[in-house]
Structures are given as structure tokens and as C-alpha cells.
Amino acid sequence: MSVDFLIETAKKIQVVINDNSSEIEKLDQEIGDGDHIFNVQRGIKLVIELEPIIKDLIMSKALNQIAMKVLSGIGGSSGALFGTLFMTMAKGNAIDEGVDYKKAIEIFAEGVEAVKQRGKADVGEKTMMDVLIPVSNCLKKGVEDDKDLKEILKEAVEVAEKGMFSTKDLLATKGRASFLGERAKGHIDPGARSSQLMIKTVCESVINS
């Protein structure tokens, strides 16, 4: 993983999120406050605009720049949570000495754990953590089992989709959706959907590289 990879992947994610923006907005209007898609789109745009600033930086500093930009530039809980993800990844052990796929999975897992602690959310609460935590566990298990990278990533894509769909029948315990009670059932969580699309895009970028 390189800084160039971060930038190019952000551009790919931007296309995918924009292509699915109407669906995500509708999901959020059903159980949230309707601003999730705009916050996500703004965050991705801010990251891409950092290209001239971060392209020649070492990995830790590039990730820190991304974290600060996301924290300061995105409204709602998304900014704090994604900022925490990148800030934690920036602190990964020896990442400036090179980031192979095992190191990338390690720092991503550390970032997800930090987001879990920051948001005080776990699997089963109808949030993006229903995607991120199972994906993190899948990636770590794949490394532990010494599986081929492409096999690990294909499994992660499937796990992300399964996690996203699982939110449809869950009660929400976080955010505005938590006030809806049983009425939140039958709706996929918008944060889980956007996270699933991001995971799928990242994994497929590596698989096809």
C-alpha cells in the first residue's frame, strides 16, 4: 500500500458512492436525518483534494493529514469516526518502512477497533460496524490461516455484503434511527451500505491490480 494507492482508491470510491448516492440518500431519509450521503461525498472529495499535499509524504503523515481533514471537514458522527479510523492507522507500527498486505490488514483492524471504542457500537446495532467489524475479523483470520490475498479479499467482499444486508432486520440502538424502535426494521442502515461499497471498491482494486 502506498500513498498513491490511497489517492487512486479514493477516486474509485468517489465514483462508486456517486453512482449509488440516490439509494443511500433514500435509505437515510427512511431511518436517519438524510445527510449521510452528503457527508460521505464531502469527505471523499476532501481526501482527493489533498493529493498535491500528501503525494510525496511518508505514509504516517499522509494518513494523519487525511484524518485531520476528515475530522474538520465532515459533519455528523461520520467525521469523528472516519477521522479516528485514519488517525489510528497512521500510528501503525513501522508503517513508514513499508506497508504490505499483512501490515495493511493489521492497521485497518486496529483502526476498526478504535472506531468501535469511539462510537461505542458493536455488531448487531444497525450501524456501519455491522460491516466493518466482520470484515476486519475476516481479514485477520485470512492472514492467520495463511490464505492467498485474493481469496482473503473475495471473502471480505462477501462478508461486507452479508453484514450490510443483516442490518435490515435489526433494531437500531445508535443515532436518530434508535428513536424509531420497530419502525427501523425492514430498512438497511445507510452507513452500512456506504461502508460496504467502500470495502468492495478497495478489495476489488487490489484483486484487479
Whether 32 has a pLDDT exceeding 80, the answer reads no
Of 190, 143, 128, 138, give the one whose Cα is nearest residue 159. 138
Q: Which residue has the cell 482494486?
A: 205
Report how many domains make up the chain. Answer: 1
Residue 93: CATH number of its domain:
1.25.40.340
Using alpha carbons, select from 150, 132, 143, 142 the residue that is nearest to residue 204. Answer: 150
Q: Whole-angstrom Cα distance, residue 184 to residue 193?
A: 15
Residue 110: domain span: 3-207
Q: How confident is the model at residue 209 (pLDDT cuts 50, 70, 90)?
A: confident
DSSP state, residue 104: H
Helix (H, G, I), strand (E, B) or coil at 139: helix
Torsion (CA) 22, 26, 27, 33 in degrees, nearest 10 = 120
Q: What's the pLDDT tens digit per position in 156-178?
A: 999 999 999 999 886 566 555 55
Q: What is the pLDDT of residues 57-89, one digit of tens each?
A: 999 999 999 999 998 888 667 788 889 999 999
Cell (9 digits) for 36: 449521510
What's the start-to-end Cα distance of the chain, in Å?
A: 12
